[in-house]
Structure 1
Amino acid sequence: MSQTIKLKKGFDINLAGKAENKTIEVTQPDTYALKPTDFNGLNRPKVIVKEGQNVKAGTPLFFERNVEDILYTSPVSGEVVEIKRGEKRKVLEVKILADKEIEFEKFKQFSSSDINNLSKEDAIEQLKQSGGWTNIIQRPYGCVANPADSPKAIFISAFDTHPLAPDYAYILQGQEQYFQAGLDILKKLTSGTVHLNIDGEAEVAQIFSQAKNVQLNKISGPHPAGNVGVQIHHLDPISKGDIVWTVNPVGVVIIGKLFIEGVYDTSRLVALTGSQMKNRGYAKMFAGASLTKLSENIEGEDNRYISGNVLTGEGIGADGYLGYYENQITVIPEGKYEEFMGWILPSKNKLSFHRAFGMLTFLNGKDKEFEVDTNTHGEERNFVVTGTFEDVMPMDILPTYLFKAILAEDYDDMEALGIYEVIEEDVALCEFVDVSKNPIQEILREGIELIKEG
């Protein structure tokens, strides 16, 4: 039965530079890269291609040594030009010089009726061999799901409340057949419910309102209302021993297209956002695209290039590569400066959750768009217990004490305080409002890895 959830806690970060609902033609990059670091928990990848080898979209590039049947496959066709390694020969990137016309590995095709008759085992096998399985993420831990597990439910958040977030209704235009096919495949993977969660305060796109084999839930409120972790917490919370799977809407389309067309196609419309982006809109790109060709659309020189949004995205540089799961590129100025007594001077142009720091910010009204840079306006210090974390986190956990339990490596307290329910994106707002400037997301990931290994 559908549910309606209204959240009050949270904070909307209203930034300048939102993408307009228009498609922009951009020069396609020459190179693409698949990065093991994009996949949480992928600690021991084994590369199965060599430099100079030609591959197609869907050709296996590497796999996890402990789970050899889940293949991580190329997003494009072309020549493997570099296998970049770091310390202790850790694999950082598998770089591909792309063909002008992308060729795809061929997998089995199914009609809508064939999908209905497809067995769970056959669906899983095609997902694992093609690379499509990597779109299914497990909670707890936020890692690629284990096909041997049986999730109690699958969750899809059809809206995003992060700063300058893309509009999924626009991104998925014309993809209705693939989206429904993806939902039909996901329904085979659980005996529980497939939850499709939509923005309760916005007009519902047809692709979501007419979806079948799902429970359609309405969620409203400030960020992080669009986070699937927050939605799980309010609809079907995770306890110790529970397993829930999540899939991004673009991942649902990738899965559906894999079965309808028989190809592993990671192309999607990517939102080009940020105050330094000249022409803001959506550009068609494959996963792992190089950002080098975007330079002509960027103002200024000293900028932060972010794969994703400003809260949870990764700074990758002007020659970096789009993350596997990202549908957004953000470019904002670097903030390499010091501001004498900047924390105490009143200002109407500083974005802050704390009125004490942005004393006049609240006078601008909720529609004011702020241009921000990467300056943290302070340095890291010991935790100060202010109660602010609880004000921006609409979940029944005590985040301050959870973070302290992680730092103390107290396993019992970590479990009792809700570490199974959260991943980095769920605490990113805590990091934003933290007056102590602690790397909250890094701390949480360290705790997750401790619990996972323990």
Structure 2
Amino acid sequence: MSKIVKLKKGFDMKLVGKAPLEIANLAASQTFAIKPTDFPGIQRPKVLVNEGDTVKAGTPILIDKAMDQVIYAAPVSGEIVEIKRGEKRKLLEIKILADQTITHENFGKIDLNQDRDALAAKLASTGVWPNIIQRPFGIVANPADSPKAIFISAFDTHPLAPDYGFTLQGQESFFQAGIDALAKLTKGKVHLNVDGAKPAAAVFSGVKNAQINQFSGPHPAGNVGVQIHHLDPINKGDLVWTVSPAGVVQIGKAVLQGIYDASKTIALTGSELTKAGYVKTFVGANVASFVKGNLNSGHVRVISGNVLTGEKINLDGHLGFYHNQITVIPEGDYEEFLGWIKPSTAKLSFHKALGMFSFLNKGEFKVDTNTHGEERPFVVSGVFEKVLPMDILPTYLFKAIVAEDFDEMEELGLYELVEEDVALCEFVDPSKNEIQGLVRHGIELLMYS
């Protein structure tokens, strides 16, 4: 039975630079990269190609020796031009110079009438499987596991987030095929969670084989972790899977067309872009053609993803595997006289502190990367509970992770969290702690204990 959930806790960050619903006329990317660092939990990456090799979209280029049935495939056809390694030969990225016309490996259409294990093995061999994420731990799912349910968030409430109704328009048949495939992989339900504050987009409105739930409220209402908590919470021993809407479409294309199609429409956002908008590209795109020559200033931070959970990249860096937007904001490497004491309505803040009169500003804010203070002792302020709409005690959980108290971490709800769920806690934290990194540390302690 469908559910309607209205959340009150949270905080919407209204920023300058939202992408208008139009395709920007920008040059296409020439190079694309797969980065093992995009996949938390990957343990022993093994490269399957050499520099100079030619590949098609869908050609296996990487596996994890710890789960070698899952293929990480080339997003485009072309030549392997660089296998980049860091310290101790750590694999950083595999870079591909794309062909003018993309060609695909043909895996053959997938029969959804085959048994569950055969279907999982087939999907794992096509390159689409890394779109399926396991909770707890937020890692690529194991095809041999059977989750109690699968969750898809059909809307994003992060700052300047893309509109999935726009990016996935015309993909209705592929989305439905992806849902049908996912329904075969679980004995439980496939939950499709839509924005209850507005009519569902065409790509989601007529979906069958899934339970459609409505969520409304401030960010993080669009986070799939929050939605899982209110629909079917994760307890010790439970496994659930999550998939992004773009990932569902990729799975659907593998089913109906027998190919790995890594194309996607992403949002170009942020106050420092001369022209915001949407561009059609592929997973792992080099962002230089979208950013260079499209900036209001030269001193900027380019982020693959959003300002809360995204990754800092160079001007010629590559889009993350799971990211659907690029954000460009000013660098904040400066000191400010009087700081938060000076009255201002231009600073975005959750706190109604002296000098921070942002609650009087009903418009959009231009933000930079300045943290407005250094890291301080971890104090109990009660602010985390105001922005995390989950029935857990975040302050005590974070302290348990610091103390590496395994029993407390489990009892206080770490199994339900990944980094994006606590990003707002990091933003509002008066102690300036790196909460997302702390949660990943706790997850790894539990994973490898």
TM-score when scaled to structure 2?
0.98
Q: Residues 413-428 of structure 1: matches in 2 within 5 Å? A: 413-428=408-423
Match of 1:433 among 428, 431, 447: 428
Output the CA distance in 1 between the equivalents of 2:158 and 2:202. Answer: 23
> Kindly tell me: are residues 358 and 156 of structure 1, through their superposed partners in 2, closer, same or farther at Cα, counting changes over 3 Å?
farther
Check the 8 A contact 1:85/1:91 in 2, yes or no.
yes
Give the equivalent residue in structure 1 for 2:337.
340
CA distances 1:411-437 after superposition (whole Å, capped 9, x unpaired): 000001100000000000000001111
| Structure 2: unaligned runs, 5 residues or longer | none
Check the 8 A contact 1:7/1:222 in 2, yes or no.
yes
Quote how far apart the aligned CAs of 1:119 are.
2.9
Output the CA distance in 2 between the equivalents of 1:385 and 1:336. Answer: 28
Letter in 2 for 1:341: L
Give the equivalent residue in structure 1 for 2:176.
180
Output the CA distance in 2 between the equivalents of 1:53 and 1:343. Answer: 55
Q: Does 1:222 align with 2:237?
A: no
Output the CA distance in 1 between the equivalents of 2:123 and 2:355. Answer: 49
Check the 8 A contact 2:117/2:144 in 1, yes or no.
no
Check the 8 A contact 2:56/2:104 in 1, yes or no.
yes
Q: Residues 21-170 of structure 1: matches in 2 within 5 Å? A: 21-110=21-110, 114-115=111-112, 117-170=113-166
> Kindly tell me: are residues 357 and 12 of structure 1, through their superposed partners in 2, closer, same or farther at Cα, counting changes over 3 Å?
farther
Output the CA distance in 2 between the equivalents of 1:442 and 1:132. Answer: 27
Quote how far apart the aligned CAs of 1:283 are.
0.2
CA distances 1:335-372 after superposition (whole Å, capped 9, x unpaired): 1110122121110100000010553211123xx10001
Letter in 1 for 2:226: V
> Kindly tell me: are residues 343 and 28 of structure 1, through their superposed partners in 2, closer, same or farther at Cα, counting changes over 3 Å?
same
Note the aligned Cα RMSD (angstroms): 1.0
Quote how far apart the aligned CAs of 1:126 are.
2.0
Letter in 2 for 1:53: D
Report the identity percentage. Answer: 63
Output the CA distance in 2 between the equivalents of 1:357 and 1:25. Answer: 44
Check the 8 A contact 1:165/1:309 in 2, yes or no.
yes
- How many residues align? The count is 448
Output the CA distance in 1 between the equivalents of 2:136 and 2:127. Answer: 21
Match of 1:376 among 357, 371, 384: 371
CA distances 1:206-232 after superposition (whole Å, capped 9, x unpaired): 221210000000001000000000000
Give the equivalent residue in structure 1 for 2:307.
310
Check the 8 A contact 1:352/1:358 in 2, yes or no.
no
> Kindly tell me: are residues 187 and 357 of structure 1, through their superposed partners in 2, closer, same or farther at Cα, counting changes over 3 Å?
farther
Give the equivalent residue in structure 2 for 1:296.
293
Q: Does 1:361 align with 2:335?
A: no
Aligned-partner SS, 2:226: helix
Q: Does 1:212 align with 2:208?
A: yes
TM-score when scaled to structure 1?
0.97
Output the CA distance in 1 between the equivalents of 2:91 and 2:232. Answer: 37
| Structure 1: unaligned runs, 5 residues or longer | none
Output the CA distance in 1 between the equivalents of 2:359 and 2:254. Answer: 48
Output the CA distance in 1 between the equivalents of 2:295 and 2:97. Answer: 24
Check the 8 A contact 1:351/1:358 in 2, yes or no.
no
Output the CA distance in 1 between the equivalents of 2:208 and 2:182. Answer: 12
Letter in 1 for 2:384: F
Match of 2:349 among 352, 355, 359: 352
Output the CA distance in 2 between the equivalents of 1:123 and 1:277. Answer: 43
Q: Residues 442-453 of structure 1: matches in 2 within 5 Å? A: 442-453=437-448
Quote how far apart the aligned CAs of 1:148 are.
1.1
Of 271-280 and 424-433, deviating more is: 271-280
Output the CA distance in 1 between the equivalents of 2:423 and 2:381. Answer: 17
Check the 8 A contact 1:350/1:358 in 2, yes or no.
no
